[in-house]
Structure 1
Amino acid sequence: MSRLQPDPSDGPPPAGGDYVTVDDTGDFGYHRSEQELLAAFEYVGEARSIIDRRGNDYLLVMDPNRRLVLGPALGPVEFHWLGQAWQAAQNVHVERHRIRRFHPGTREQLLRDLFETLVLERVPDPGAGSWSLDVGGVTTRLQSLQEVDHRLSRQSRLEQARVRDPFGRTYRPVLHRRHWYMPAAAGLMVYVETPPHGDAPG
C-alpha cells in the first residue's frame, strides 16, 4: 500500500487517544498514547500504518530537529488492506494474536474489533471489566486473559468451557499445536468466537 510521505509542517496530529500500528514485519501493536507509540519505534518506515479510533491513517516522520514524530493524518485507512493485514498477522503471529473474532463486515466493526482485541491481548489490566469462564455451568470471574489461560491449563475437557471477554463476546478455547510433532498439551490456547445464545454470526 503506497503513500506519499507527509511533511510535518502540514499540521500537528490530533492530541490524545490510543493507536493501533502495523509494523514493517506486518505485525500489529497497541499503544495507549502518542508518547508510548513514539517510544516503540526507532526510524521512519518502521511503522507501515498508524491508526486512531476514528480510522485515520498516519505515518512517522522526522521534524526539523530530526526527531521522530507522528505526521498528519493521511485520510481513512483502507478497509480491505487492513482486514487482509490483520488476518495475515493472526496466521503468522499466532502466539501474539490468540483471540479470533468473526470476520468483520464493515470498516467500523473492523476498527472496533482491532482496538478491543489488541487491548485484551496486550494490556495486563485493560480496565474494561472482568472475564468470565464457564465450565459445565459453573462460572468464574477472572481479571485477565492470562488468568483465563491459567485456569484452562488445568481443564481436561475444553469442549465444556466457554469464555466471555469484558466486551461481552463469547469464545470456545482451542489448543493450537505449535508444530505437528509436538503434543497438543504443549500448544497455545486460542479463543475462537462463538455465536451468543446459539445464534448464527452476523
Structure 2
Amino acid sequence: MNATPTPTHAAPAGPEEPAGHTADYVTVDDGGSFSYHPSQTALLAGFEYIDEAACIIDRTGTTFDLAMDADRHLRLGPSFGPVEFNWLRKAWLDEQRRHPRDHPLHRFYPSAKDAVLAEVFEILELERGPVSAPWTLTSDGKVSHPATLPDVGRQLAGNKRLAHIFVEDPFGHIYRPLRHRMHAMFPLERGYFYYVEIPRPTGQAA
C-alpha cells in the first residue's frame, strides 16, 4: 500500500491471547471495508500502518486501535470502550450495499445490539470460511452438506429453478438462493448467487 505510516510513540499493550485460546476480531479499514480476522496474529498481519484500521472490534463489542511498540512493530493497542452500535449497523449495511457480490448473505434487519454484533461476526466468518460445521442445502427433498459458501454456489450452478431450494448456514439461518443478473445483455446464469434470509419453513426442525 502507498500510505505513509503515522509516527507515534510506543503504546501500552493490548490484550494478550492466553495459551490455547485465540480471540477473533472484525476490522473496519480506512475505506470503510469490513474484514474478519481469526486471531490477533492474523489481524496484525493484515495492516501496514496504524491509521489503516479505523475500528477494531472483538466478540464482546470492545473496540481497539492499532499502535506501535518500541521497535515500531504494529501491535494491538489498549481497549477504549464499547463500539457505538448505531454506527456499526449503518457502516455494515453501507458496506453490504457497496459490495453486494462480496457480501451475498442478506439476513433480517438487526435491531438489537447483540444481533448487530453477532451478524457482523457470523457473516464475515462464513464468507471467509470454512467454519467448524457445514452448510445444509435442501433441493427437492435431497440434502447435501457443502463445506463453504463457495461450495454452495458451485452446487447451485447447475440449477435453473431455485424456488424449491433452501440453504441453511452453520449458525442455523435459512436462506432462499437467488441469482443477480450482471447485465441486461448477459444470460441470468452468468450472474452471481445471493441469499435472502427467510423464516424457517413450517415443519422443518431447527
Q: Fold match, TM over 0.5?
A: yes
2:14 is matched with: 12
Match of 2:131 in 1: 126
Q: Is the 8 A contact 2:11 2:67 kept in 1?
A: no
Letter paired with 2:40: E
Cα displacement string for residues 12-61 of structure 1 (whole angstroms, at most 9, x for unaligned residues) = 32524000111112111010111100001011111111100000011111
| Structure-2 residue corresponding to 1:37 | 43
- Aligned residue pairs, count: 192
Distance in 1 separating the partners of 2:141 and 2:49: 51
Q: Would you say the 8 A contact 2:14–2:75 is kept in 1?
A: no
SS at match of 1:178: coil
1:52 paired with 2:58, answer yes
Structure 1: 5+ residue stretches without partners: 1-5
Residue in 1 that maps onto 2:4: none
Is contact 2:166-2:176 (8 Å) kept? yes
The answer to whether structure 1 residue 83 and structure 2 residue 89 are counterparts is yes
Q: Report the Cα offset of residue 126 of structure 1.
A: 1.1
Distance 2:186 2:197 in 1: 25
Query: 2:27 touches 2:36 (CA, 8 Å); kept in 1?
Result: yes
**1:162 aligns with one of 152, 156, 166:** 166
Report what 2:68 is aligned to: 62
Which one-letter code corresponds to 1:77 in the other structure?
V
CA separation in 1, counterparts of 2:35 and 2:178?
A: 23
SS in 1 for 2:163: helix
Q: Give the equivalent residue in structure 1 for 2:191.
A: 187
Q: Write the deviation string for residues 60-117 of structure 1: whole angstroms up to 9, x where unpaired.
A: 1122221111111110001011001111111111121111111111111111111111
In structure 2, distance between residues paired with 1:9 and 1:93: 34
For normalisation by structure 2, the TM-score amounts to 0.86
Partner of residue 32 from structure 2, selected from 26, 40, 58: 26
1:148 pairs with 2:152: yes
CA drift at 1:10: 4.1
**What is the CA-CA distance between 1:9 and the residue it aligns to?**
3.8
Task: Give the secondary-structure state (helix, strand or coil) at the position aligned to 1:190.
Answer: strand
State the percentage of identical aligned residues: 42
**Structure 2 CA distance for partners of 1:93 and 1:41, relative to 1, 3 Å:** same
Do the aligned residues in 2 keep the contact of 1:7 with 1:71 (CA within 8 Å)? Answer: no
Q: CA deviation at 1:177?
A: 2.6
Q: Which amino acid is the alignment partner of residue 179 of structure 2?
A: L
